[in-house]
C-alpha cells in the first residue's frame, strides 16, 4: 500500500514501519537523483596473478555515497535498481567510468591492468550494450582485451540463447568474458558447454573452506583442471588466508582476488597497490 502511494510521500515513515522497509524507502526514493548528483563511485579490488604476485587487474565494485545512510554496498541497492529500471542508466555509467579508468591507466604506466565490470541481468538482455561498448572503445582506442565483463550464471540463464549470442558478440570484439560466482548455479557444467568464455570465477563459497573441507578442496582442484582443459583461465574469489592462496597456487589456479591481497578500495588506493612491486605468494 505504501508503494502504491508514490515516491516522497511522508506517510511512509510511520513509527511502526520496520527498519528494513524504512531503509528500502530511503534508498528507493533517492536512487534516481543519485546518478545526477554524482553519488556513485567505483571501488576497485585488485586481482593478483598467483605465480608472480603481480596485480594484473581489478574488479570494479559499485558503491553509493547516500547522504543519510553513508556508504552503501551494491547488495543493498542493485536489486532495487534492477526492479526500478535504473540499472540501465547506472550500468551505462559504470561502463563509461570503467573505460575512463582504463584510459587513465594507459597514461600512467598501468596500461597492462585489466578491468572487470559486473553486468546485471537487464543489461545483458537489453539492446543497448553492444552499441555503447563500441562507441566507448572506438572513442578511446582502448584495447578491448583490457575490459572484462562478468556475468553470473543466474543472469545468463534467464535467457540462455540470448546470452549465448551476446557473449559471442562480446568475444568477437576481443572483450573478455567471465562467469561470476561459478559453481553456485544448478548446472554449472552445462554453461561451460553452452557459452564461449575466457575465464571462470570460482565462488567464494567454495574457497572459504578449502583448508578444512576435503570435498571443497576436491571440487576446487577439479574445477581448475576442467577449466584449463577447456582452455579457460581461472580466478578464485574471496581468498582471505595465506593457506587458501597456497592451496590455489599449488593447484595451478591462475589468479586470485580477496581480502588477503586487498579489500575493495578507492581509485587512489588501487593505483598505489598496482604501481608497487609485486609481493610473492608463498
Tell me which residue has its CB nearest to ligand C2E.
Answer: 258
User: In this structure, are residues 199 and 233 in contact, taking their beta carbons and an 8 Å threshold?
Assistant: yes
- The binder of 36, among ligand C2E, Mg ion, none, by C-beta within 5 to 8 A per type, is none
Placement of cell 567505483 in the chain:
42
Residues found near Mg ion in the complex (CB under 5 A) = 118, 150, 180-181, 237
- The binder of 207, among ligand C2E, Mg ion, none, by C-beta within 5 to 8 A per type, is none
Angle, helices 267-275 vs 87-106, to 10°: value is 40
Nearer to Mg ion, 150 or 198 (CB): 150
Nearest approach in angstroms of CB 238 to Mg ion is 8
The cell for 237 is: 574469489
Nearer to ligand C2E, 12 or 146 (CB): 146
Nearest approach in angstroms of CB 135 to ligand C2E is 19
Q: Give the distance, in angstroms, between the CA of residue 32 and the centroid of all CA atoms in the same chain.
A: 22
Nearer to ligand C2E, 78 or 281 (CB): 78
The cell for 154 is: 543466474
Distance CA 80, CA 60 (A): 19
Nearest approach in angstroms of CB 86 to ligand C2E is 11
Closest CA to 59 of 24, 93, 101: 101
Hey, which residues does 198 pair with through a beta bridge?
none
Residues found near ligand C2E in the complex (CB under 6 A) = 45, 60-62, 73-75, 78, 94, 118-120, 150, 180-181, 204, 237-240, 257-259, 264
Amino acid at each position: 500500500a505504501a508503494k502504491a502511494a508514490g515516491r516522497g510521500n511522508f506517510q511512509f515513515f510511520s513509527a511502526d514501519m520496520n527498519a528494513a522497509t524504512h531503509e528500502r524507502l530511503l534508498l528507493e526514493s533517492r536512487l534516481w537523483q543519485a546518478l545526477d548528483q554524482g553519488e556513485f563511485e567505483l571501488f576497485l579490488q585488485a586481482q593478483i596473478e598467483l605465480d608472480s604476485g603481480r596485480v594484473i587487474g581489478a574488479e570494479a565494485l559499485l558503491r553509493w555515497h547516500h547522504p543519510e545512510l553513508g556508504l552503501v554496498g551494491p547488495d543493498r541497492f542493485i536489486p532495487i535498481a534492477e526492479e526500478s529500471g535504473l540499472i540501465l542508466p547506472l550500468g551505462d555509467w559504470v561502463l563509461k567510468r570503467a573505460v575512463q579508468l582504463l584510459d587513465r591507466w594507459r597514461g600512467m604506466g598501468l596500461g597492462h591492468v585489466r578491468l572487470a565490470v559486473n553486468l546485471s541481468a537487464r543489461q545483458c538482455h537489453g539492446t543497448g550494450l553492444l552499441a555503447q561498448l563500441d562507441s566507448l572503445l572506438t572513442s578511446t582506442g582502448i584495447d578491448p582485451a583490457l575490459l572484462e565483463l562478468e556475468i553470473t550464471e543466474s543472469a545468463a540463464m534467464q535467457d540462455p540463447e540470448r546470452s549465448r549470442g551476446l557473449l559471442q558478440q562480446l568475444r568477437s570484439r576481443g572483450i573478455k568474458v567471465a562467469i561470476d560466482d561459478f559453481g553456485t548455479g544448478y548446472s554449472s557444467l552445462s554453461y561451460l558447454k553452452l557459452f564461449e568464455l575466457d575465464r571462470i570465477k570460482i565462488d567464494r563459497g567454495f574457497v572459504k573452506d578449502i583448508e578444512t573441507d576435503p570435498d571443497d578442496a576436491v571440487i576446487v582442484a577439479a574445477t581448475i583442471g576442467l577449466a584449463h582443459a577447456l582452455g579457460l583461465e581461472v580466478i578464485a574469489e574471496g581468498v582471505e588466508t595465506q593457506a587458501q592462496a597456497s592451496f590455489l597456487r599449488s593447484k595451478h589456479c591462475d589468479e586470485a582476488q580477496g581480502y588477503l591481497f586487498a579489500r575493495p578500495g578507492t581509485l587512489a588506493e588501487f593505483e598505489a597497490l598496482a604501481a608497487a612491486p609485486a609481493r610473492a605468494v608463498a
